[in-house]
Every structure is written in structure tokens, then in C-alpha cells.
Amino acid sequence: MNPVKIGLLGLGTVGGGTATVLKRNAEEIARRAGRGIIVDYAATLEPARAEELGLPDLRITEEAFDVVNDPDISIVVELIGGYSPAKELVLQAIENGKHVVTANKALIAVHGNEIFARAQEKGVIVAFEAAVAGGIPIIKALREGLAANKIEWLAGIINGTGNFILTEMRDKGRAFDDVLKEAQELGYAEADPTFDVEGIDAAHKLSILSSIAFGIPLQVEKTYTEGISKISREDVTYASELGYNIKHLGIARRTEEGIEQRVHPTMIPKTRLIANVNGVMNAVLVNGDAVGHTLYYGAGAGDEPTASAVVADVIDIVRALTTDPENRVPHLAFQPDELTDTPIVLMDSIETAFYLRMRAVNHAGVLAEVTKILGDRSISIEAFIQKEPTEDVDKADIILLTHRVNEGDMNAAIKEIEALDVITGEIMRIRVESLK
């Protein structure tokens, strides 16, 4: 049988990794797929990349639509990223009857509902394993391996750059900006790094996981999104003293009111495996009613780890080329007409424990004022630390850990405490999850 020809849109970090892996493992891949797979055509603004990657026969163009419209290409691999022209290219590929593989989480999270509907009509596959958690096959695990389960919740470290920053701050006391710069140099960070540090990238990924876990349409716009940019070195240290690590988590949970879909810094007991996932590594913890807890761990970014997921998708498509479109694994795990309108719950109604850090005047009665406000709202305190800030000996940093409390009640209490004369500045709060 003739080899399947694929076209790459982009020959950057992931595009280069994909071409390299396909070339290096060509024999094994052909034995798995049942046919050879060759990178035949690539769109790049740097034509010298083909030579660099040791692919002198690769056809190169600067115009990505040339690849999408090329009749020889069966599978288009979109690795450009961003919304436009990625969306137009993917829709054109679908229109041309081509299957698509993409690593573009932003595209899938924001335009996935439209893209999958069009792919369904045209009987083609749009595969996106590489869009979430890099090389970890979490889409396949949720969509296929855990298909027997009612998923109760999942929690993931799904942004490698953010995890790298938090780990370096904790272990080496490095400054935030310095670590971010290194993540950019290593090719982990997004083109716009605010996507990493403000939680947008994680929100894209979480909305994809949530949709696949619970059988709901993609709703990234309803994801509560908070990044790591306000986390200080002190918070990292105090969390550690209290027995916790701070991780940037995406959490999706089924509740009686609907689905929680939230991304924010989270304190996790150090004893949990996921609390010890460090550096650029990602991990997703999934709780299914039949299987219980399962944990998926691996590199969340980088050239070959991401290529591992891209190439696996390509192999899946090659295996499915002759199958009936109606009998393929649905894009969002559930049959398209079986997606439900279960609401995404508002953040005010969720329940978590909290870490609070506030700066107070250092005199008698201050703590009583703070605890009275919490007590009046039935917010119970689990642990307490007081520190003297080095730069201001007349002040005290008060660090509190609460029991589980309704988020709306906590917000109201924080407002009241911040209004006290004895408190200066804003209160830092971090949600705490036991992940039991």
C-alpha cells in the first residue's frame, strides 16, 4: 500500500519534533499503522528548516493554504497555533475532505464546537491529543480507556510553564520574571506568555478535558480563570510550612448544581502524588466511579513530547482511514447528539478551604477582630501562623488556613477584613484542595 502523505502547517518546535519522530521511528510507526507515513509538504516561513531537520526532499511553501489544498495530502497537521489563520486553514482542510491533527488548544477550546460539527458533516476526523498536557495521552484515556466510568472529577497541572515557574520559585528562590524568560527560551511558553501566567492556556485545556469527561459542549468562556502572577515567594514558603505545595490546577467536578470548571493556584497536601509533580511536567488526576483515582504524568510541553501525541493521532487516523465515519470515537467522547446542557456552576457557589495571608498592625486585639468576622460567617480556622515582616517590624503577617467554606461567604468576609483599619493592603487568598 502507498504511504499516507501528511502536510505540516508550521515547522517550529512541535513541527520539527513531529518531522523528526516520524522519520526516526518510520519503521515502527508503519508496523503499527499498517502503512508508511511520510511528511510530504510543509508550510514554513523558514525554508532552511527542511535542510536543518535532514529532510531535503520535503516540499516547502510559505503559503499554508497550498498544503491544505494539495490533492496528495490526506492528513493536515496544524501546528501554527493561535486562532487565525489556524481556524480558516482547519475548516478549509475539512472542506477538502482531509483529516486534521492539531496541537492548538486555543483553537479547539474556542472554536471546537463549530469545527467538530463541520468535521462530522464531512465525515473526517479532527484529532487533538497534543492540545492538552503535551505528551500525556489524557484525551485517549478519558475518551476510551475510562469510557465505562461516570467521571466524578479531574484535577490537572496542565501548564508546564506555570509549573516550572512555581517549582523554581520554591526550590531555588528564583524571581518570577527570570524563570519565565527561561521557559520562553526553552520553547515551553506561549507566544503571548500571559496565556501561561494568567491561566488562559490552562483554561483552554481544562474546558477540553471537562467537555470530554462530562459530555458537555466546550465552554471555555465559563471557566473561572486565575493565574499565578500574584503568588509570592512568601506564599510558597508559608504553604510549605503548613504542609502544602502550591500548584496551578485546572479542576472540573460534577456536582448536584452542575459542573465546576475552574483554574487557579491551589494548595495541595505535600503527601499527594500530584503535589510532587515539578518543573515543566504535567499531571492529570481523574476520579471515575468504577476505577477510582488514576493519575497520568508526563512532559506537558516541548518538541518531541508534544510530537509524540501528534504522531499518535496521525497513526490513529491512518488506522481509521477505511472505517465508517459513524463508528469512530466521537470527537468529544460522547455522541454529538448526546451532549447535555448541564450548567457550569458560578464560582460563588463552590466550596473549598482557603489560605489567607494579610498584613496587620502588630498590637493586641487585631487577631480577635479578624477571627470575629470569620466566626460570624461560620468560617472555621484550621491553622494559624504569625510572622514578622523583615521590612516592617511594626506589622505582622497573619497566615490562616480555614476549613471548607462557601466561596461567596469567603469573598464577603475578605472584603470586611480588608476594610478594617488594622489591615493594610489586599488579602492574598489561595484555595486549598485535599483531592481525596
Residues found near ligand HSE in the complex (CB under 6 A): 134, 159-161, 188-190, 196, 201, 300-301
Q: How far is the CB of 248 from ligand HSE (least distance, A)?
A: 10
Which residue lies nearer to ligand HSE by CB, 196 or 407? 196
CB 29 → ligand HSE: shortest distance, Å?
A: 23
Nearer to ligand HSE, 40 or 168 (CB): 168
Three-class secondary structure assignment of the chain: CCCEEEEEECCCHHHHHHHHHHHHCHHHHHHHHCCCEEEEEEECCCCHHHHHCCCCCCEEECCHHHHHCCCCCCEEEECCCCCCCHHHHHHHHHHCCCEEEECCHHHHHHHHHHHHHHHHHHCCCEECHHHCCCCCCHHHHHHHHCCCCCEEEEEEECCHHHHHHHHHHHHHCCCHHHHHHHHHHCCCCCCCCHHHHCCHHHHHHHHHHHHHHHCCCCCHHHCEECCCCCCCHHHHHHHHHCCEEEEEEEEEEECCCCEEEEEEEEEEECCCHHHHCCCCEEEEEEEECCCEEEEEEEECCCHHHHHHHHHHHHHHHHHHCCCCHHHCCCCCCCCHHHCCCCCECCHHHCEEEEEEEEEEECCCCHHHHHHHHHHHCCCCEEEEEEECCCCCCCEEEEEEEECCEEHHHHHHHHHHHHCCCCEEEEEEEEEECCCC
Residue 337's Cβ-count burial label (10 Å; 0-12, 13-18, 19+) is exposed
Decide if 205 is catalytic.
yes
Report whether the peptide linkage leading into residue 85 is cis, meaning its omega lies within 30 degrees of zero.
yes
Nearer to ligand HSE, 196 or 260 (CB): 196
Residue whose C-alpha cell reads 464560582 in the numeric block: 347
We find the least distance from the C-beta atom of residue 226 to ligand HSE, in angstroms, to be 17
CA–CA separation, 246 vs 157, rounded Å? 11
Closest distance of CB 374 from ligand HSE, Å? 36
In the complex with ligand HSE, which residue's Cβ is closer, 7 or 199? 199
Least Cβ distance, residue 196 to ligand HSE (angstroms): 5
Distance (Å, rounded) from C-alpha 372 to C-alpha 298? 45
Q: Which is nearer to ligand HSE, 247 or 357 (CB)?
A: 247
Output phi, psi for 250, to 5 deg.
-105, 125
Of 202 and 286, CB closest to ligand HSE: 202
Q: Nearest approach, Cβ of 301 to ligand HSE (angstroms)?
A: 4
In the chain, what is the greatest distance between 2 CA atoms, to the nearest angstrom? 83
Q: Rank residues 124 and 183 by Cβ distance to ligand HSE and give the closer one.
A: 183
Q: Sort strands 75-78 and 4-9 into parallel, antiparallel or unpaired.
A: parallel
Give the shortest CB-109-to-ligand HSE separation in angstroms. 12
Q: Nearest distance from residue 188's CB to ligand HSE, in Å?
A: 5
- Report how far residue 50's alpha carbon sits from residue 19's, in angstroms, rounded to the nearest whole number: 9
- Of residues 205, 222, 415, 436, which has the active-site annotation? 205
**Which residue's CB is nearer to ligand HSE, number 158 or number 216?**
158
Catalytic positions: 205
